[in-house]
Amino acid sequence: MLQLQAIRANQEEITEALQKRNIDAAPLLENVLRLDEKRRATQTQLDNTLAESNTLSKEIGVLFKSGKAQEANALKEKTGQLKEDSKKLGETLQAVAEELQGLLYQIPNVPHPSVPMGNTDEDNEEIFKEGEIPVLNTDALPHWELAKKYDIIDFELGVKVTGAGFPVYKGKGAKLQRALISYFLDKNTDAGYTEIQVPHLINETSGYGTGQLPDKEGQMYHIGTDDLYLIPTAEVPVTNLFRDEILMQNDFPKCFTAYTPCFRREAGSYGAHVRGLNRLHQFDKVEIVRVEHPSTSYEALDGMVEHVKNILRELKLPYRVLRLCGGDLGFTAALTYDFEVFSAAQDRWLEISSVSNFETYQANRLKLRYKDESGKSQLAHTLNGSALALPRVLAAILENCQTKNGIQIPEVLVPYCGFNVID
């Protein structure tokens, strides 16, 4: 969430920057400032009314002690009116504050200056590419056919138990999943991230804290009886660990990694491009989350990008890195790099990671602050990334590593899964 003082001081600059997202934010920002002015004016009225009421109450006490009951009672009538006025002003203040908060929730984060202009994912900027794209035999199969051939993933069983988008992993397929999770966690902890296990359900406050609410409530599974949400990513519970926290400068950086299942409704997703593992309602992911001092957050972002690159190099998967354009940038992100692996059997790129810097946007919602050198509270920066999401990584391994004699397992994973081929 943008800070009010920043909107007051930089209204034109923010309006111009948000044009990269292809939105005209001017009317919304004008309404925010109008409501902010009304809120501050109402607060001043309320403070003055309460101060006057307190002053009169003291005078009434003095008058009663002096035996001037008639004058005291006359003032009591006035304090009664002041109390009624303060009650109404308090109600008005609360209503204005709630309306103002609702408008602030509608404003996305301001894109970093390096974010390119663009409307869709076709306008994203490729900044890096590495790895040799394999040439497969003419009889090569997509991963959903390989899964059936080697009996390692059963999509039909998942439909039977739950519905489409909930696959059942079997035998070597299940072991390969577990191997990937362990490998990703080990890579992350070796890089200095502390492994934690977090709840897979969050409350509404947590959803607002990281920006899933009110922007993405239609994409999350909601448990109405308990008013809880299934997590769409470990980013949400991990980052919310720092809600309402005040850090010291020597606490930075805070680095965590967590494995969780992730749940996304993915409403409206149909077609061949979402077949098999390409788009699921439940999938496994290993996440990395950082809380950084503002002066080091972009250096940390670059480090996260290099970390994911190293993992993909070890897996020997061809990949590329994209800088997302304004039209494709997530609501809460200031800058995002997407990683995509090439799926040889599908002949297309598959997104497998997003690494983002949210600057102070999430921290403002979370009230996540630190004490600077002068002892003043400042907002921290939050970052997160997938390291990595499993489904499309697994799809790329199955498709790119298929041979006539089976699917060759990347060498780095063999110690984790205990076999080197699926046949």
Q: Looking at residue 79, what is its pLDDT? A: 85
Joined tokens for residue 183: 């490998």
Q: Using one digit for the tens of pLDDT, what is the confidence trace for 6-36?
A: 999 999 999 999 999 999 999 999 999 999 9
Q: What residue ranges do the domains of the chain occupy?
A: 4-105, 121-422
The separation between the first and the last C-alpha atoms of the chain, rounded to the nearest angstrom, is 51
Q: Using one digit for the tens of pLDDT, what is the confidence trace for 274-291?
A: 799 999 999 999 999 999
Joined tokens for residue 259: 């494995």
Residues constituting the chain: 423
Percent of the chain whose pLDDT exceeds 90 = 89
Do residues 173 and 157 touch, judged by C-beta distance below 8 A?
no
Do residues 319 and 376 touch, judged by C-beta distance below 8 A?
no
pTM of the model: 0.93
Q: Using one digit for the tens of pLDDT, what is the confidence trace for 251-270?
A: 999 999 999 999 999 865 55
Helix (H) or strand (E) holding 98: helix 69-105
Tell me the C-alpha distance between 74 and 297, whole Å: 62
Joined tokens for residue 325: 């354009």
Is 351 one of the annotated binding-site residues? yes
Is 353 one of the annotated binding-site residues? yes
CA Rg value for the chain = 27
Is 109 one of the annotated binding-site residues? no
Helix (H) or strand (E) holding 258: strand 254-263
Is 245 one of the annotated binding-site residues? no
**pLDDT tier at 273 (50, 70, 90 boundaries)?**
low
Helix (H) or strand (E) holding 292: strand 282-292
Tell me the C-alpha distance between 127 and 406, whole Å: 34
Measured CA angle at 301 (ends 23, 114), to 5 deg: 40
**pLDDT tier at 99 (50, 70, 90 boundaries)?**
very high
Q: Using one digit for the tens of pLDDT, what is the confidence trace for 121-151?
A: 999 999 999 999 999 988 999 999 999 999 9
Taken in order 393, 395, 398, 401, is the CA torsion positive or negative? negative
Is 292 one of the annotated binding-site residues? no
CATH code: domain 121-422 is 3.30.930.10
Is 34 one of the annotated binding-site residues? no
Is 352 one of the annotated binding-site residues? yes
Mean pLDDT of 309-323: 98
Mean pLDDT of 214-239: 93
Which among 196, 216, 197 is positioned nearest to 206, based on CA atoms?
Answer: 216
Quick check: 96 pLDDT over 90?
yes
Quick check: 271 pLDDT over 60?
no
**CA contacts within 13 A on the Cβ side of 355:** 23
Mean pLDDT of 284-303: 98
The architecture (CATH level 2) of 4-105 comes to: Orthogonal Bundle (1.10)
Is 48 one of the annotated binding-site residues? no
Do residues 258 and 287 touch, judged by C-beta distance below 8 A?
yes
Bridge partners (DSSP) of residue 6 are none
Q: Looking at residue 172, what is its pLDDT? A: 98
Quick check: 272 pLDDT over 60?
no
Q: Looking at residue 269, what is its pLDDT? A: 54
Mean pLDDT of 102-127: 97
